[in-house]
Amino acid sequence: MATFKKLPASLALQRGTVISDGAFFHLIDGKTESLKVMYHGIRGTQNVAGNKSKGSASGESVAREVSNIQQTESAKLLSNAKLLVTWDFRLIDLADILFASATKAGADKSDEQAFRKAFQGFVARVKDSDGLKTVVGRYVRNVVNGRWLWRNRLVAESIVITVTPSQNSEKSYTFKALDYNLNSFDNPSADEQALAEILLTGAKGDATNAGLHIEAVVDFGMGGVEVFPSQNYLEDKPKGFSRSLYQLNPVRPQRGADNNQFLGQAALRDQKIGNAIRTIDTWYPNAEEYNHKPIAVEPNGANLEHQFFYRVGKEKMSAFDILKEIDDLDPNSEKGMFLIACLIRGGVYSEGD
C-alpha cells in the first residue's frame, strides 16, 4: 500500500456534524415549560476530617468544621412533570471537510499537493461506500438509544425518542431507547436505516433535506427529581461555590442574595451530545479484550473513562498513521471506517518537523 512519510505541516478538518444544544423542558399533560437552573445553598458534610486540634482530655485529635456550606446550581422537574429534551442534527458535505492543508513556507509543495489529491480521492470513494453507511448508521443508533442523555438515561424508567426529518415534518419515527443495548450496533431496523439515508444526503452534499429533529421524553417514575444538564468547567470557582450548570440564555446568579434564584434554561451542551453519538469506535486494536465496547472516535483512541489511549502503540492504528495510507485506503475496511468517522469528527492533524 502506498503511504505518505509525513502529513502536511498544516492539516485541519472542520467538524462534519451540525448539532444544536439539547434544551430541557418540563412536560405536563402535553404542554411544555422551560426547565430552569436553580441557584441555591446547601449544608453538607466535609469529605475529609481536616482542621484538627488537640481538643479532648486524652489528647486525641478532634475534627472541627464538620459542616460544608456551599452555594450550588441544580435542575429539577416539577412534581407532576416528565423531562423533555430537544435538539437538531445533520451532517455537512464530506467534500467540505478539508479546511486547511499546507506546507511550511519555502518547503517543497509536491508532497502536500499529492496528499490533497489523495484526500479528495478518498472522499470521493467514501460517498458511495458501505463504510460510510455503516458509520452513519452507528450515529443513528446512538441517537435512538438515548446514549446522549448520559446520566438521565441511567436513572430513567422509560425513554421515548421521536425523530422527525426536516424534509417531512409530518413523518416521524419513534423508538423506546431503553430497549437498545448501548454496546451493540447490530440489526438496524428499517426506521433506523431510513434516518441514516436522510443523514447520508447531507454527507453527500444535499444539506437542504438532511436534518433531523430529535425529542426525548424521559419518565423517571416520579416527579420532583433532579435531572442532569451539562456542567460547566470553572478553573477558579468562587469560595464556597460547588457546581455550575450549562444554561441557554444564561442568567448570572446574585451571589449571597435570594437563596432560591431561577436562572437560564437547563441544557445539554452540543459538544456533550456530539461526544455521545460518536461513541462508535469498535475497530480499535485488541477490541475483543474489551468485548468490543465502543469508545468515542478520537485520533489516538483517547478515553477519559479509562484514562487510556487505545490507538497508540506498535499497531500504528491512530488517525495520524491511517491518514498516511489514505491514497489506497479501502473505505469499507475497519481502518477506512474509523478514518471516515474521524473526518466527520474533524480536528487538527498537522505534523511538523
Average pLDDT of the segment spanning 186-199: 96
- pLDDT of residue 55 exceeding 60, the answer is no
The pLDDT value given to residue 103: 75
Cα 106 to Cα 181: distance, rounded to the nearest angstrom: 53
Cα 274 to Cα 281: distance, rounded to the nearest angstrom: 14
Element (H, E) at 169: none
Average pLDDT of the segment spanning 154-163: 98
pLDDT bucket at 168, cuts 50 / 70 / 90 = confident
Is pTM beyond 0.85? Reply is yes
The pLDDT value given to residue 1: 54
Residue scoring higher pLDDT (102 or 190)? 190
Query: Angle formed by the axes of helices 110-127 and 130-144, to 10°?
Result: 70
- pLDDT of residue 235 exceeding 80, the answer is no
Which residues, in sequence order, are bridge partners of residue 98?
Answer: 13
B/e letters for 240-267, b = 16+ CB within 10 Å, e = fewer, are eeeebbbbbeeeebeeeeeeebebbbbb
User: Cα-atom radius of gyration of the chain, to the nearest Å?
Assistant: 24
Mean confidence (pLDDT) of the chain: 89
Q: Are 228 and 152 in contact (CB under 8 A)?
A: yes
The pLDDT value given to residue 206: 80
Cα 206 to Cα 204: distance, rounded to the nearest angstrom: 6
Q: Which of 2-6, 63-67, 299-303, 335-339 has the lowest mean pLDDT?
A: 63-67
pLDDT bucket at 78, cuts 50 / 70 / 90 = very high
- pLDDT of residue 80 exceeding 90, the answer is yes
Cα 196 to Cα 139: distance, rounded to the nearest angstrom: 8
B/e letters for 277-305, b = 16+ CB within 10 Å, e = fewer, are bbbbbbbbeebeeeeebbbbbbbebbbee
Residue type, 312: V
SS3 assignment, position 296: strand
